[in-house]
Amino acid sequence: MTSGFAGPLFTTLSRIVACILIFSPSLSLPVRSQPKPLKSQTDFSEVRKLIQTQMAARAIPSLSVAVARHGEIIWEEAFGFADKEKGIPANQETMYYVASVTKTFTATALKILEERKQIDFDRPINDYIRPMGVTSPIWNPKEATVQSVATHMAGLTTFGRNCYADQSNCRISAEETIKRYGILFWRPGDHFDYSNLGYGILGEAIRQVSGKSYADFLRDEVFLPLGMTHASVGIAPRFEKYAAVRYSSINGRRPIAYSASPAASSIYCNAHGLALFGMFHLRAHLPNQKAILSDKSIGMMQNSTVSAGGSSRYGLGWWVHEDLNGYRGLLGQGGTDDAMAFLRLIPSEEIVVVVLTNTGDEFPPKLVDEILSVLLPPYRLRRATPSNTRQQQSSLDAKPSAPFVGKWVGNVHTYRGDLPLTFSISASGDVHAKLGSVSAVPLNKFEFSDRGLIVRLKGNLGTDEDTGPEPYDLDFELYLKGDMLYGATTTRPRPGARHGAKLSYWVELRKTP
């Protein structure tokens, strides 16, 4: 029996915006730096034509780009409309939702506090967020350090929740959010699992340690010292007229959204400001920027990396590609169905490329590649050469090994209580599931490995105030530990859902005789 449900179990890279995968590098030795180009020698006319053509073909409302090299912005331009209905054109002051690029700012803020000896990356995160705290039914929360949370290695898992202006009674406190979802599903240090909630928790640490709100700390200690005059956490007062309207690629114009994990995904910024931030992280030492971090700390953010699956690595707020068509590349990237943000650095060439849009689309990462190809001819040549690198083969199978065969009985634990769950697994690979009072049903979306299984089924956990009223599926990621299957089930909004959330709950099952 085949399952039709493909995807890695022991890395959550598949949970991250798929556009990141476009940057997966092939293997070769780094290319030497090219001579510094004069600003007048860089011709972006063909890229500009490509932008205009693709925006029209793909119905992209607006797009802003900024490119810097050797500490100088050599091209910045805005295209399209920040607000289509009102006919407001985008310009160089237009601020876009940068989604998960926020994490790079949060990591920067943490390093500032570390240099001030207010945060120790080796201490448990719970030391900095009391009386709140991450918990776990089976793992030791003290092993979840600031460093492990910042590198997505702490055992936290998927979390995605926004409240929109047209939703009443949606927002809950940070304390309640951590109480409901701050669960260590995996042993800290076991494997990489990209978690928005982890960075939301780091934002709480910044607030408590600094004595300022996360938004105020970022404004006072990062944005203004770096000359980022059009940047704010959320759409701060007086910035309303600069913020681009977000347009869902599925549902159209979106109301204002508020992130449940602000330090993971809440910043708005214009392309110019993001380029200034990138130049700071290239240690450009611009005369109008304050040295908010030492060069040593900047280097640690880029080089203290963990494996994120395949050839990707993750530092502190940076995706790191050791060989991006012959160059070492850093990436801050964020995306939803209503916004995309790319901050690409090529340190050896002192290059920053920023692309921002107010809708979700596959074009921005391709545009980044086009811009780099103009700046770096060797990059273009390597990009045009097919890679001989084999894709990593999944170790998942449709049939279980003997330890999985049998009946497993337990619960999904939510903040509203336990929901009974049963899996029946046959040696031939048939899987039946029963959730709550719903009759057992056969499943056709599941995979096994030697350590665990992933399963998808329809269901409802009775937490509609958090998940929203629209129907969703449940993705189970479970690991084998003796006679126990443990792990997470995550709500998966169905295509077209306007207010869906990705929220994870603890699952524990025991094998019955």
CATH of the domain at 272: 3.40.710.10
Range scoring the smallest mean pLDDT among 41-50, 103-112, 447-456: 447-456
The answer on 420 and 352 residing in a single domain is no
The answer on 262 and 202 residing in a single domain is yes
490/200 Cα distance (integer angstroms): 18
Range scoring the smallest mean pLDDT among 108-122, 192-206, 379-393, 472-486: 379-393
Residue 168 confidence class, pLDDT cut points 50, 70, 90:
confident
Q: What is the DSSP letter of 95?
A: B
Interaxial angle between packed helices 295-303 and 102-115, expressed in degrees from 0 to 180 and rounded to the nearest 10: 130
Q: Average pLDDT in the 194-222 region? A: 98
The answer on 505 and 408 residing in a single domain is yes
Q: Is the peptide bond before 30 cis (omega within 30 degrees of 0)?
A: no
The answer on 258 and 302 residing in a single domain is yes
Tell which of 370, 390, 410 closes a domain: 390
The boundaries of the domain holding residue 426 are 402-511
Q: CATH code at 438?
A: 2.40.128
In a domain, 317, yes or no: yes
In a domain, 168, yes or no: yes
Find out whether 284 and 350 touch, Cβ atoms under 8 Å: yes
* pLDDT digit string, tens, across residues 263-284: 999 999 999 999 999 999 999 9
Residue 4: predicted pLDDT: 40
Tell which of 333, 365, 390 closes a domain: 390
> Has residue 13 got a pLDDT over 50?
no
Average pLDDT over all residues of the chain: 89
Range scoring the smallest mean pLDDT among 4-13, 51-60, 204-213: 4-13
The answer on 407 and 371 residing in a single domain is no
The answer on 408 and 302 residing in a single domain is no
Q: Average pLDDT in the 255-267 region? A: 93
> Has residue 250 got a pLDDT over 50?
yes
The answer on 345 and 482 residing in a single domain is no
Residue 398: predicted pLDDT: 64
Task: Name the H helices within 163-226.
Answer: 174-181, 196-210, 214-218
In a domain, 33, yes or no: no
Count up the domains in the chain and report the number: 2
In a domain, 2, yes or no: no
Does the CA dihedral 67-72-78-83 come out positive or negative? positive
In a domain, 65, yes or no: yes
* pLDDT digit string, tens, across residues 235-249: 999 999 999 999 998
The answer on 452 and 359 residing in a single domain is no
With tokens 């450009």, the residue in question is 284
The answer on 335 and 429 residing in a single domain is no
Residue 152 has φ and ψ, to the nearest 5°, of 60, 35
The answer on 221 and 94 residing in a single domain is yes
In a domain, 396, yes or no: no
DSSP 432-464: EEEETTSPPEE-S-EEE-SSEEEEEEE---S-H
* pLDDT digit string, tens, across residues 15-40: 443 333 333 333 333 333 333 434 44
Residue 17: predicted pLDDT: 39
> Has residue 8 got a pLDDT over 90?
no
Range scoring the smallest mean pLDDT among 64-68, 316-320, 439-443: 439-443
Residue 276 has φ and ψ, to the nearest 5°, of -60, -40
212/96 Cα distance (integer angstroms): 24
The answer on 223 and 116 residing in a single domain is yes
Residue 291 confidence class, pLDDT cut points 50, 70, 90:
very high
In a domain, 115, yes or no: yes
More reliable by pLDDT, 54 or 385: 54
The answer on 50 and 145 residing in a single domain is yes
In a domain, 1, yes or no: no
Range scoring the smallest mean pLDDT among 58-72, 187-201, 443-457, 465-479: 443-457
228/220 Cα distance (integer angstroms): 11
Question: How many other C-beta atoms are found inside a 10 Å radius of the C-beta of residue 276?
Answer: 26
Residue 396: predicted pLDDT: 52
